[in-house]
Structure 1
Amino acid sequence: MDLNSCLTFVTVLECGSFSAAAHKLQIPRSTVSARVASLETRLGTRLLRRTTRQIAPTEDGRSYFEQVAPAIRALREANERAMYSGTALTGSIRISVPLDFPFTVLSKAIASFRASHPAVRFDVIVDDRVNDFVADNVDMAIRG
């Protein structure tokens, strides 16, 4: 199965023309036409009635669109979520600082970072012992 051909076919029907689909997909109109023709050949049926002015789905085309469009939309949404989730930092950062560390310095640094990444939480551990990063689940330690 060629997902590019399926995506192209769905986009053609959503946009209403080969030209609009080509623009949306950022590919040449000839590629759109070739992908739809390839899909029709592979399926062994015509999916679209074409004239110089308009396109319309055949009965098979309408049925195929109704079956594949939800899957194509789900793939688009999954891609968008994946791209978005990759840009936003989330989670927590555990920082260990000594008892005599000036907390104002740390609080300013944390506030500055959180302005850009509000979904990140900070856990500050104040003690003078040497940390085992793995056992203590510490991400960063500041020592003098």
Structure 2
Amino acid sequence: MLFSGKKFRRVRCENLDEMLSATQANEDIVRVLKSKAPIVMFTIKDEKTIRMDLDIEGKHMTHSFNFGEEHEMERKDGEKVKITYTREGENILNQVIKMPDGKIAYFRREIKGNEIKMIIRMKGSDLTAAIYYEVIE
């Protein structure tokens, strides 16, 4: 996968505020999505495993996931979310996050060359938002 090991920084958003307001998204998701230019890197470890590194607001987080398996992660507030990553072909990553309050967020990352377009949907809404990232390394 050509994007594996490259760092990407958010450069712009479309319809994000509208979608988050309309869906009353969980405050943890809102904080991450609206933070100042997070840097993300996905590294494919093998056919089944991906590692995500996220630098956000001066903090570094690393998580490894097996494709197609639901994983539990603990948030800063101690609540647990369930996350599942799948991939389509070589350059599309899908992520589903199930919140403790029952809300579900869907993220589709389409990687093309040095850019990522992340499309976000929340269960129960027809609204979508897009966040664009560009490679920095």
TM class by shorter chain equals under 0.3
The structure with the greater share of residues assigned to strand is 2
The two structures have a TM-score, normalised by structure 1, of: 0.20
Pair member with larger Rg? 1
- Between 1 and 2, higher relative CO (CA 8 Å, sep ≥ 6) is seen in 2
Whose helix fraction is larger, Structure 1's or Structure 2's?
A: 1
